[in-house]
Structure 1
Amino acid sequence: MKKQVDGNLAGGLFYGQMWQPWGNGWNVEIEKASQAQHIKDGKVVVADTLDELAQKMGVPVEAFKATVARYNELAAKGHDDDFGKRPELLTPIQKGPFYAGRLVSTLLAMSGGLHTDPSLHVLDKNDKPIEGLYVCGAAAGDYFGSGDYPTICPGMNHGRALTFGRLAGVMAAGGDIDKTVKSMDIK
């Protein structure tokens, strides 16, 4: 359930990702009902200890506990050195019950990705274009800015992938996008 933990809000996975209408606040009753249904359907497992949770998840117990310990270390530090998770989302994992769910869907974009210039060239470590190497779609970085994917807009990367994929393809084939791709006159 969503609660205050050292100034951070914890939980909220079920409702916020699935049912929350845009612009509406978080609803604890819908959260509880969604969570209960996921547990009933076997999509989520519950355990009182990390050892038990690892076993239910089918992962190596010691490796799992080491991962949780590292995450808690980063949460206590207030900075995610490993993956860049926003500080306000770092919530320590300390007291059961513990929940785990298997996600079978994925995001269709990278939060990081390769750095590009306006011509879709991949840039090297000195921000110079790598000749002949273009990037588009999910692998192209510099789009979400914060290094975090806005989960409230699923699929928002599709149009970007299609548009810039075509432009990168034209340029990689030696074409001129100004001559090949017709401009739209929007009034």
Structure 2
Amino acid sequence: FDAKGLVDGAFPADISTDPVADGWAYTAATLQDLAAQIDVPVDELQKTVETWNGFCDNGEDVAFFRPADTMQKILEPPFYAMRCAPALLNTDGGPVRSPKAEILDPDGVPIKGLYSAGEFGSVWGHKYNGAGNVAECTSFGRIAARSLIAE
């Protein structure tokens, strides 16, 4: 992102108002200097920025399908870069599950014959504890089976 992007919220102010000083980002007056700091070939960084700015001009991110109203060109120094590394992605939530592993309708009434295990109706809500779903799958799988047999 660039200077305007920083002002417009490219980095969440509730995490840091100075992402460079706090160790979250790198900054430089030119793309060439930024490329040297983040150890990427200058021509690749320049091409990436040119491609991105073209997406912004056309109002369409054909690489990652980001919504057009969230796209902003990278033009104004200083320029910023942050490390992005692969990570596990997990979503939880969805339907609500009873202690018997029954899926509940919007009124909190069990839907006859509909049970769940694992992340479908997860006990974790929107907070994820690493490896928690393995135990959740086995626990609620067993609970669901027992509840169904009791029916």
Q: What are the within-5 Å matches in structure 2 for residues 36-185 of structure 1?
A: 36=18, 38-103=19-84, 106=87, 108-109=89-90, 156=126, 158=128, 162=133, 166=137, 179-180=145-146, 182=147
Report the equivalent of 2:96: none
2:12 is aligned, of 11, 14, 18, to 14
Deviation at 1:39, TM superposition (A): 1.8
Deviation at 1:85, TM superposition (A): 0.8
User: Secondary structure of 1:95's match?
Assistant: coil
Q: Does 1:35 align with 2:5?
A: no
Aligned counterparts of 1:57 and 1:2: Cα–Cα separation in 2 = 18
User: Secondary structure of 1:39's match?
Assistant: coil
Q: 1:67 to 1:2 in 2, by over 3 A?
A: closer
Q: Do the aligned partners of 1:10 and 1:91 also contact (CA within 8 Å) in 2?
A: no
Aligned counterparts of 2:49 and 2:73: Cα–Cα separation in 1 = 9
Uncovered stretches (5+) of structure 1, i.e. residues with no partner: 19-33, 111-135, 138-154, 171-175
What does the per-residue CA deviation read over 1:58-99, in whole Å, with 9 as the maximum and x for residues that have no partner? 111111111111111111111111101111111001121111
**Percent of pairs with identical residues:** 26
Deviation at 1:105, TM superposition (A): 8.5
Deviation at 1:41, TM superposition (A): 3.8
For these two proteins, the number of residue pairs brought into alignment is: 113
Aligned counterparts of 2:25 and 2:45: Cα–Cα separation in 1 = 17
Aligned counterparts of 1:177 and 1:42: Cα–Cα separation in 2 = 46
User: Secondary structure of 1:13's match?
Assistant: coil
Aligned counterparts of 2:143 and 2:53: Cα–Cα separation in 1 = 49
Deviation at 1:166, TM superposition (A): 1.9
User: Quick one: higher RCO (CA 8 Å, sep 6+), 1 or 2?
Assistant: 2
Q: 1:66 to 1:157 in 2, by over 3 A?
A: farther
Q: Which TM-score applies when normalising by structure 1?
A: 0.46
Q: Which amino acid aligns with 2:12?
A: F
Report the equivalent of 2:114: none
Aligned counterparts of 2:56 and 2:143: Cα–Cα separation in 1 = 47
Superposition RMSD in Å: 3.9
Q: Which TM-score applies when normalising by structure 2?
A: 0.55
Query: Which entry has the higher C-alpha Rg, 1 or 2?
Result: 2
Q: 1:39 to 1:2 in 2, by over 3 A?
A: closer
